Amino acid sequence: MILRRNSFVAVLLIAMFIASPVRAAELSESTAAAFDHYISLTEQRLAADLRAQRFFVIDRLPEPERNKMYEALRRGEFHIEQLHTTDDGRPLAVPGGLVHHWVGVGFIPGVTLTDTLAVLQDADRYQEIYKPSVRRSKLVSFRDGAMQVSEQFYRKTIITVAANADFDAQYRFLTPSRLVCESRSTRIVEVEHPGEAAERELPVGDDHGYLWRLNSYWRLEERDGGVYLQVEFVSLSRTVPVMVLWAVQPFLKSVPHGVLETLLTTTRSAVVERHVRGDDPVAVHASQ
């Protein structure tokens, strides 16, 4: 679903910038288990935020600062920040892996929640909306708010990186004007020679470790004459070799910030364009 597809773009680009293409990497059981623990604690915090009526990350701010932030969002600005899940204040170690955890919030004026979901749930068109970062996209199934999507991510810079990824996502209405979506990768494999006759998937555990896992958590709310949307993503890639850490360190913040800004901008533009075209309404797929 778009939610996952959105985060996919963010994570893929980040992982490609910070991972070294020098040698293969292997996702060990200890790395996967540590990441699963990170995700478990992150989702506990997300659930606690909902119970405390902190729907968006900016709702934790004091009221004067929070009001100013909402005003900035309505002016077209974005709020983007890096997050770090902890265990009772203690940093969480993920041996052999690097966790990328970021959140971005924006506002789409003059549209409805239905307008926004029409774009976010149009999985077959991700390849058009988000090209060239998405080369292929396909809606596998969608029933009772549960969505399965298959995509191929692509990025060409100094090196070319492509990955086939499958996701399970669940849309859920909290109220008629509030919706959440949780998306989790079920399969991510690196692709060699994308778009060529020799295109093939590399064996899991015998790749460059650009992207091993990707979860994303979306929150949407219709109010103030538009739709607020937030995407929080948590991904896992290989660690950065010490020998190149000095070179990639500046990208650890600048790249994800730029990716999230582009993601929010692209999504906002696609939703506004659809609203202006006056496309026919579509069925909204989400559980109640």
| Residue 192: HSE in the Cβ half-sphere, 13 Å Cα cutoff | 10
Query: Is 231:103 a contact under the CB 8 Å cutoff?
Result: yes
Q: Which residues have C-beta within 8 Å of that of residue 246, sequence separation ≥ 6?
A: none
The 8-class DSSP code of residue 171 comes to E
Q: Output the pLDDT for position 136.
A: 93
Interval 96-134: pLDDT, tens? 888 999 999 999 999 999 999 999 999 999 999 988 889
What domains are there in the chain, each with its CATH number?
2-277 (3.30.530.20)
Sign, CA dihedral 75-81-85-91, equals negative
**Could you give phi then psi for residue 161, rounded to 5 degrees?**
-125, 130
Which helix H or strand E contains 136, and what residues bound it? strand 134-143
Mean pLDDT of the chain: 85
User: Is-above-0.75 flag for pTM?
Assistant: yes
